[in-house]
Amino acid sequence: MRKTRTTAVSIATILLALAALIVYALGGRSRPAPPPTTPKPLTPAPAPAPTPESKAPVEAARQPSRPLLKFKTPAPSIIPAGARPARVQRVTDGDTIVLEDGRRVRYIGIDSPERNDPLYEQGKRFNESLVLNRPVYLELDVQQTDPYDRLLAYVYVRLEDGPELCVNAEILRQGWARLYTFPPNVKHVETFGLCQKEAIDERRGMWKNYVFDSETYFVGTRNGRAYHRPDCRMIAGVRPETLIKYADARQALEAHKSPCRACKP
């Protein structure tokens, strides 16, 4: 009997406390909390230093929409009608993902820094900010897989506030990858070239401190993907008359050549 009454009193106390809390909460709230998808004000207050681990996913989910709306150059930014929907399980780096069904996807036309490169983490995180927790849409080119049995694709997403983006192009545009053409998969090479040019012109990402005239000239070959320093061993056996000369690295990059991995121009 006494036990029952004690319980009843306890419940009443809890209910009272709850009611008081609700009244306090309603009275103390001067304006409604913004819905989760509302963008932050344009002049953000200095945020308290976040711990990278805990803050990253939230930031990642909304960060991409703002900077990416500044399109200076066109990009294949409409999800093509035949693109195949998929979900991303995890991001390997700036140009590779793993789908939920376990398939690995290599982004066509770009090459992001490798694991030991200081820019590897940024490229990976930017990629994550675009493709994690969103449906992605895959567009294929001529070859469906590469020699490592990875699916070769252009990856598209639709951001929460509207725009549709080609992820390959945006990674290029932010300077987290360089153009890496791989014939015959060159459907978007021209617009990708413009995205990289924008990154270079704006000195974004890997181009921030890049020295374009570290040599008096650079060389490449008609069918080779790379441009080289004049004394690179990779072109030592090439007949001089077949070499293409570039006045500086920018010229080579605009001709869709990428820096040689051996001589690292």
- Residues binding Zn ion (CB under 5 A): 228, 232, 234, 260, 262-263
| Residue (of 222, 220, 217) closest to 247 by Cα position | 217
The nearest distance, CB 67 to Zn ion, in angstroms, is: 33
Are 174 and 204 within 8 A, CB to CB? yes
- Closest to Zn ion by CB, 1 vs 236, is 236
- Closest to Zn ion by CB, 197 vs 228, is 228
- Closest to Zn ion by CB, 18 vs 262, is 262
The nearest distance, CB 234 to Zn ion, in angstroms, is: 4
Q: How far apart are CA 228 and CA 265, in angstroms?
A: 6
Q: Which long-range contacts (CB under 8 A, 24 or more apart) does 64-69 make?
A: 64/126, 64/129, 64/130, 64/159, 64/165, 64/170, 65/39, 65/159, 65/160, 65/161, 65/163, 66/39, 67/174, 68/159, 68/163, 68/165, 68/170, 68/173, 68/174, 69/163
The nearest distance, CB 186 to Zn ion, in angstroms, is: 22
Q: Which residue is nearest to Zn ion (CB)?
A: 260
- Closest to Zn ion by CB, 99 vs 234, is 234
The nearest distance, CB 82 to Zn ion, in angstroms, is: 38
The nearest distance, CB 49 to Zn ion, in angstroms, is: 42
- Closest to Zn ion by CB, 186 vs 243, is 243
Q: How far apart are CA 164 and CA 156, in angstroms?
A: 7
The nearest distance, CB 211 to Zn ion, in angstroms, is: 16
How distant is the alpha carbon of residue 138 from its chain centre?
Answer: 15
Q: Provide CB contacts within 8 A for 78, sequence distance 6+.
A: 164
- Closest to Zn ion by CB, 156 vs 182, is 182
**Token pair listed for 131:** 């493709």
The nearest distance, CB 259 to Zn ion, in angstroms, is: 8
Task: Tell me the C-alpha to C-alpha distance, in Å, between residue 107 and each of 13, 101, 118, 196.
Answer: 61, 17, 20, 15
Residue at 245: amino acid letter: K
Q: Any bridge partners for residue 179, and if so which?
A: 110
- Closest to Zn ion by CB, 1 vs 211, is 211
- Omega before 184 within 30 of 0, i.e. cis: yes
